[in-house]
Chain A
Amino acid sequence: MSGVEAGEFKIVFTGPMGAGKTTAIAAISEVEPVRTEVENTDRVAHAKESTTVGFDFGRITLADGSVVRLYGTPGQMRYRFMWDILGRGAAGVIVLLDASAPGALVQLDVFVDAFIPHVAHGALVVGVGRTDVPNAPSTDAFAARLDARGIVAPVLSVDVRRQGDVMMLVRTLVCILGSHTAHGVPA
């Protein structure tokens, strides 16, 4: 986490295809985000028109002047190699999930397992969308899933289209970072 002391650090948004990583970064970035979206030809995996195959990049400045570089990963397993490239040097990770998608709880495991090795002190926050869809697991179900594996991480219900919701995820992560560094990043 060498970047934290320098007042500039990196946060990675990850999660499966269609969880809203590109939307979340666009919702909060103070610069026009860099996007690498292409046409999605795998409509079986997800019905959406386009999908990120490189990475998203945005930036925000916190109240204390710290600059946060925001990176979004591709969600599909075939882009697993990008997860490690983007995870390297990250101060913290935000895992986004769509509760109404099949296997959302299993997806939580997949992304937590992939990114936990990259972040110190468990700097990880989970944002779950569409928990209001009938039969979708609640945020408690996601928290219990983490708890059962001995992982302590906040799980928040979010609508990634809302700037306030996404900023809440970032602030929560920054709080975790601040509590673990001598020259912590104030929220």
Chain B
Amino acid sequence: MSKVRPAKLSRELARKVLEGYGEVAGVQCAVLFSSDGFEIASHAADAAASARLAAIGSSLAALGTALAGEAGLGDFERTTIESNGGAVTIMRVGSSRSMSLAVVAGKDAVLGQLLWATQRCCQALAKLLDP
């Protein structure tokens, strides 16, 4: 369990990374979660919302993995759901399949900037959680 469930200290550090990332224009909230749908750290989302985002995000990441595999495209990296109110991006953290980040952004976010910032955030989290 400890392999994918980081210790309390790293959870706190992860939360700090997310807090910094929350400054990116348009970002409404962010949730770091395990591949089986448990929240590890979150920013600007209450407990109920982050638990739901973690569960739904993990399903999308798993479906993304299945689809990429089916198409012979290798590992899942990220997926973005765009709607008229904004966008949600699910991005894998690090090279393992153990965790991903879900980010909810409003209409004011520029998608390219959002993806770039999310990638930077995932890289910082990967370093933190698997030094």
Contacts and interface: CB of A to CB of B under 8 A. Distances in A.
Interface stretch (B60-68, B82-90, B101-109): B60-68
Interface stretch (B18-26, B32-40, B110-118): B32-40
Q: Chain A interface secondary structure, helix, strand, loop or mixed?
A: loop
Contacts, number: 57
Contacts of A82: 59
21 contacts: A34-B66, A36-B59, A36-B62, A36-B63, A38-B35, A38-B36, A39-B98, A41-B4, A41-B36, A53-B35, A53-B36, A53-B37, A53-B58, A53-B59, A54-B60, A54-B62, A54-B63, A55-B63, A76-B37, A78-B52, A78-B54
A54 B97 CA distance: 15
Interface in A64-78: 74, 76, 78
A55 B67 CA distance: 12
A78 B55 contact: yes
B65 A36 contact: yes
B70 A39 contact: no
**A-B CB proximity, top 5 nearest:** A36-B62, A38-B35, A54-B62, A78-B55, A54-B63
Contact of A39 (B36, B60, B63): B36
Given A36-B62, A39-B4, 7 more contacts: A38-B58, A39-B35, A39-B98, A41-B1, A53-B58, A79-B37, A81-B52
Contacts of B52: 78, 81
A48 B116 CA distance: 37
A138 interface: no
A41 B99 CA distance: 11
B51 interface: yes
Interface in A52-110: 53-55, 74, 76, 78-79, 81-82
B5 interface: yes
B1 A43 contact: yes
A49 to B, nearest CB: 11
Contacts of B59: 36, 53-54, 74, 79, 82
A29 interface: no
B70 A34 contact: yes
Interface in B1-56: 1, 4-5, 34-38, 51-52, 54-56
Contacts of A55: 63
Nearest to B65: A36
B14 to A, nearest CB: 15
A38 B70 CA distance: 16
B4 A78 contact: no
Nearest to B54: A78
A30 to B, nearest CB: 17
A49 B36 CA distance: 11
A74 B36 CA distance: 10
